[in-house]
Structure 1
Amino acid sequence: MNRRPTLLAALALTAAAALTLSACGSDDDSPSKDTDEIVGADTGGEKSASPSKSAEASTDRPKIELPPDLKLTFEGGETGDPVKDAILADSAERMRAVDAAITGTDPEGEALAFYNTGKALEAALNWVAQFEEAGATMTGEARYYDRKVTLKDKSSATLVFCADESKGFSKDKKTNKIQKTPVTKNSYVLYNTRLDKNAQGVWQTSQIISTRGAAQCQP
């Protein structure tokens, strides 16, 4: 029995309820590009094959695994500030969780709900649904860099970072055909996110805005 549609439906209801109760400002929660290239593949300060410090901190955190043909790299994971480092780690896990839901390595969507809340959860569900409807998955590489954390207070922060998605593509689930696209300025994306620390100490992404082709992310 495939439980994934039921779980995603439940998560969607949770996201809708959170949005109804939230007083947060507007957010661009729609994916900013077609499924021909990767959006939201993740890599932290270290190679993504290694669990983040955030994930190592608690056995209660869901284990995230990605398929071998999807490589994610996060640069600048250690700032010397334990709070900022935790934010960077949980943000990276969020990006990996979205990819795990898309590629089928987290069919229950456990990590997706663990690291997302509010509008960011709605955006993640929307993006996963687009791949499902297209019968597609992800392959290739994505690199995240210039990650900058700004603490707002003890339980909220903003994180701005760039993504190089020029080597990430969608792949047909049935035929395994890779939909390669040319590298353009839109292969580089600026992400502006808000994270809120929940009662369990997890820095959940609550809002996310992406700007494709942003000048500050160009190589």
Structure 2
Amino acid sequence: MNRRPTLLAALTLTAAALTLSACGSDDSSKGKDSDKIAGAETEDKASPSPSPSEADAGGRPKIELPSDVTYKFEWKKTGDTEKDAVLSDAEQRIKAVDMAIARQDPLDKAYRFYSEGTAAAESQKYIQEFVDHKARTTGLTRYYNESVTVKDDGTAALVYCEDQSKAFNKFLETGKTDVTPVTKDSYVVYAGTLRKNDNGVWVTERLISQRGSAKCQP
């Protein structure tokens, strides 16, 4: 989700960035200031321990992740059908990017199901960084402080925080996990624009992020 090996320290996802840096703490990422975005997978690269995450409805792809890639979504149900759908599809996009990293496939269909435009292009670059460094993510990533607004023009604005303090980069060839100290940059804020497509899926078209945001500090 999201983490980033220090090697990958800064990419941009539309105006934002993904940083594959020790997601765990430090400035990792799933992935993640303009240097980060989420998304994340080791030797089990070829066969991740499947941990299916909601799928099927509306032809949505099945998400399967290694057992050591976990999440804590503290996003609350709003009671509004559209807002809750935005949150649900955004969650699936995050997991789909991590699945692509785990599979070491920058063109994996699942994350492209949930993203288009600059968001999809930057996610591809982000995933490629992990592939180039033969790395993936491991650990727990937490998402919180969400805010979603659905507009009359068929788009939605979503802002949320990511806690990478317990998520790290894992290298496939050695199996080594790069554990880094927790700093303010372990907390990232994201702002995304989503649009409901003809299939009823809220796809992310644009996503920007900033590390060390005061909004996300514990």
Cα distance, 1:65 vs structure 2: 1.0
2:51 aligned with 1:36, yes or no?
no
In structure 1, the partner of 2:177 is 178
Greater gyration radius: 1
Greater alpha carbon shift after TM alignment, 77-86 vs 181-190:
77-86
Q: 1:66 to 1:111 in 2, by over 3 A?
A: same
Cα distance, 1:106 vs structure 2: 7.0
Cα-to-partner distance string for 1:90-149 (whole Å, 9 max, x where unaligned): 000010011000011878611111001001001100110100111111101100001110
Contact 1:102 1:131 in 2 (8 A): yes
Percent identical among aligned pairs is: 43
Aligned length: 184
Cα-to-partner distance string for 1:72-103 (whole Å, 9 max, x where unaligned): 12112411001000000000001001100001
In structure 1, the partner of 2:162 is 163
What secondary structure, in the 3-state scheme, does the structure 2 residue paired with 1:183 have? coil
Higher helix share: 1
After TM superposition, list the pairs within 5 Å mapping 1:61-210 onto structure 2: 61-104=60-103, 109-210=108-209
TM-score of the superposed pair, with normalisation by structure 1: 0.78
Q: Structure 1 CA distance, aligned partners of 2:83 and 2:95? A: 18
In structure 1, the partner of 2:57 is 57
Residue identity opposite 1:153 in structure 2: D
Q: 1:125 to 1:61 in 2, by over 3 A?
A: same
Cα distance, 1:41 vs structure 2: 4.9
Q: Structure 1 CA distance, aligned partners of 2:119 and 2:157? A: 13
In structure 2, the partner of 1:9 is none
What secondary structure, in the 3-state scheme, does the structure 1 residue paired with 2:118 have? helix
Q: 1:34 to 1:107 in 2, by over 3 A?
A: closer
Contact 2:100 2:106 in 1 (8 A): yes
Q: Which has the higher contact order (CA 8 A, sep 6+)?
A: 2
Cα RMSD (Å): 2.0
Contact 1:193 1:207 in 2 (8 A): yes
Unaligned runs of 5+ in 2: 1-12, 24-28, 32-37, 41-50
Q: 1:124 to 1:168 in 2, by over 3 A?
A: same
Unaligned runs of 5+ in 1: 1-25, 43-48
What secondary structure, in the 3-state scheme, does the structure 1 residue paired with 2:151 have? strand
